[in-house]
Structure 1
Amino acid sequence: MRKKMLIISLVPGLLLGIVFSAVCQQNFEGIATYRSSMSVGTLQVTGRNMSPDMQESVRKQLMQQSQKDYTLTFNLQEATWKEDAALAPETNAAASGGMQIKLSTGNSISYLNPSKNQFLEETEIFGKKFLIEDELPSFTWKITNETKKIGDYVVTKAEYQNIREQTTMSFSNSEEKTETIMDTTMITAWYTSEIPVSQGPSNTWGLPGLILELKDGSFTYLCTKVELNPATPIQIEVPSKGKRVTREEADKIRDEKLQEMMKKYDTGEGGERRVIRIGG
Structure 2
Amino acid sequence: MRKTILLISLVPGLLVGIAFKAVSQQKFEGIASYKSSMSMGTINVAGREMSPDMQESLRKQLMQQSQRDYTLTFNLEEATWKEDAELESSAGAPSTGGMQIRFSMGNSISYLNPSKNQFLEETEIFGKKFLIEDELPTFNWKITGETKKIGEYTVIKAEYENISEQTTMSLSDSEQTTETVMDTTMITAWYTPDIPVSQGPSNTWGLPGLILELKNGNFTFLCTKVELNPATPVQIEVPSKGKRVTREEADAIRDEKLQEMMKKYDTGEGGERRVIRIGG
Provide the TM-score with structure 2 as the length reference.
0.83
Gaps of 5+ in 2: 1-22, 270-275
Q: Is the 8 A contact 2:62 2:94 kept in 1?
A: no
Q: CA 1:60 to 1:31, structure 2 compared with 1: closer, same or farther past 3 Å?
A: same
Gaps of 5+ in 1: 1-22, 270-275
Which whole-Å CA distance do the structure 2 matches of 1:148 and 1:236 have between them?
A: 30
Which whole-Å CA distance do the structure 2 matches of 1:69 and 1:101 have between them?
A: 21
Residue 228 of structure 2 aligns with which residue?
A: 228
Structure 1 residue 106 displacement after superposition: 3.7
For the pair 1:51 / 2:89, whether they are aligned, the reply is: no
Structure 1 residue 261 displacement after superposition: 0.4
Which whole-Å CA distance do the structure 2 matches of 1:125 and 1:59 have between them?
A: 25
Residue 204 of structure 1 aligns with which residue?
A: 204
Which region of structure 1 is more displaced relative to structure 2, 53-62 or 225-234? 53-62
Give, as a single letter, the amino acid of the residue that structure 2 aligns with 1:204: T
Structure with higher helix content: 1
Q: CA 1:91 to 1:57, structure 2 compared with 1: closer, same or farther past 3 Å?
A: farther
Structure 1 residue 173 displacement after superposition: 4.5
Which whole-Å CA distance do the structure 1 matches of 2:93 and 2:73 have between them?
A: 35
Structure 1 residue 262 displacement after superposition: 0.8
Q: Let me know the Cα RMSD of the aligned residues.
A: 2.0
Residue 146 of structure 2 aligns with which residue?
A: 146
Structure 1 residue 253 displacement after superposition: 0.4
Give, as a single letter, the amino acid of the residue that structure 2 aligns with 1:171: L
Q: Deviations over 1:143-184 (max 9, x none)?
A: 011000001100000000000000010124542110001100
Q: Deviations over 1:254-277 (max 9, x none)?
A: 0110111011113389xxxxxx9x
For the pair 1:257 / 2:238, whether they are aligned, the reply is: no
SS in 2 for 1:231: coil
Q: Is the 8 A contact 1:91 1:100 kept in 2?
A: no
Q: Deviations over 1:185-234 (max 9, x none)?
A: 00000000000000000000000000000000010000011111100001
Q: Deviations over 1:18-51 (max 9, x none)?
A: xxxxx8942100000000011112x432232232
Residue 266 of structure 2 aligns with which residue?
A: 266
Provide the TM-score with structure 1 as the length reference.
0.83
Q: Which runs of at least 4 in structure 1 moved beyond 4 Å after TM superposition?
A: none
SS in 2 for 1:103: coil
Q: CA 1:110 to 1:93, structure 2 compared with 1: closer, same or farther past 3 Å?
A: closer
Which whole-Å CA distance do the structure 2 matches of 1:262 and 1:57 have between them?
A: 24
Structure with higher strand content: 2
SS in 1 for 2:124: strand
Q: CA 1:101 to 1:174, structure 2 compared with 1: closer, same or farther past 3 Å?
A: same
Q: CA 1:50 to 1:87, structure 2 compared with 1: closer, same or farther past 3 Å?
A: farther
Aligned length: 246
Residue 78 of structure 1 aligns with which residue?
A: 78
Which whole-Å CA distance do the structure 1 matches of 2:150 and 2:77 have between them?
A: 25
Q: Is the 8 A contact 1:157 1:190 kept in 2?
A: yes
Fraction of identical pairs, as percent: 80
Which region of structure 1 is more displaced relative to structure 2, 56-65 or 163-172? 56-65
Which whole-Å CA distance do the structure 1 matches of 2:93 and 2:240 have between them?
A: 38
Which whole-Å CA distance do the structure 2 matches of 1:166 and 1:251 have between them?
A: 12
For the pair 1:130 / 2:130, whether they are aligned, the reply is: yes
